[in-house]
Amino acid sequence: MSPDDRRAAIVDVAIPLLREHGPGLTTRQVAEAAGIAEGTLFRAFGSKDELVQACATAVLDPAAAVAELGEVDPSLPLDDRLVAGVAVVQRHVEQVVALISVLHHAGVVPPVDKARHRGPGDPALDAAFTALVGDDARALRKPVDEVVGLLQLLALSSVHPLMSARRLDAAEIVDVVLDGTRRSS
């Protein structure tokens, strides 16, 4: 296994453990769960802090969400594609919030890649979500980037613990964005 693959495998094991145990997680627990010696863990990561930072970086990376958006069946009706897309974004945000919350309460500052976080949104995530709309963009009253922005904003705010008293499910979000809230007259 290459060093990068080993690091990624250890991070994959450590993330759920970090959510469960917080910063009190020991390198021994991670090594045991990964089926490796603790020395192997320290050859991959110089310190526990380096491992925790790698976990935070991995959770913040939207690549898995982008890949999952790419797996949505393009032959589904628009509503179903968008519901699947909103659900992906909601899961990603929930994972980020869960880990960042644990780290924050322990005084650990997650890494910030200033080159990637220049403003709202992630270009790859936006492009993958826009691809879900596809040719159905013609059926929308608003430009597709605005619709995608609204869907992502509502997905984020519906699961963020400081923004919503009630979790909206993906179908509710898509319904509001595509059909609005006004009754037909």
At 20-67, the pLDDT tens digits run 998 889 999 999 999 999 999 999 999 998 998 899 889 888 999 999
Q: Which residue has the tokens 């013609």?
A: 138
CA–CA separation, 158 and 146 (whole Å):
18
pLDDT for residue 15 is more than 90: yes
Tell me: the pLDDT tens digits for 144-183? 999 999 999 999 999 887 776 778 899 999 999 999 877 7
Query: In sequence order, which residues have a C-beta less than 8 Å from that of residue 44 and are 6 or more positions away?
Result: 3, 6, 7, 10
Q: Taking the model in full, what pTM does it have? A: 0.83
Q: Which residues of 11-44 are buried (b: 16+ CB within 10 A; e: fewer)?
A: bebbbebbbeeeeebebebbbeebebeeeebeeb
In this prediction, residue 24 carries a pLDDT of: 87
In this prediction, residue 113 carries a pLDDT of: 57
CA–CA separation, 65 and 60 (whole Å):
10
In this prediction, residue 124 carries a pLDDT of: 93
CATH of 3-57, one of 3.30.1490.110, 3.30.420.40, 1.10.10.60, 3.20.20.10: 1.10.10.60
Tell me: the pLDDT tens digits for 126-142? 999 999 999 999 999 99
CA–CA separation, 56 and 96 (whole Å):
8
* DSSP one-letter code for 31: H
Question: In the chain, where are the structural domains located?
Answer: 3-57, 61-179
The Cβ of residue 78 has, within 10 Å, a number of other Cβ atoms equal to 17
Query: In sequence order, which residues have a C-beta less than 8 Å from that of residue 131 and are 6 or more positions away?
Result: 69, 70
In this prediction, residue 118 carries a pLDDT of: 41
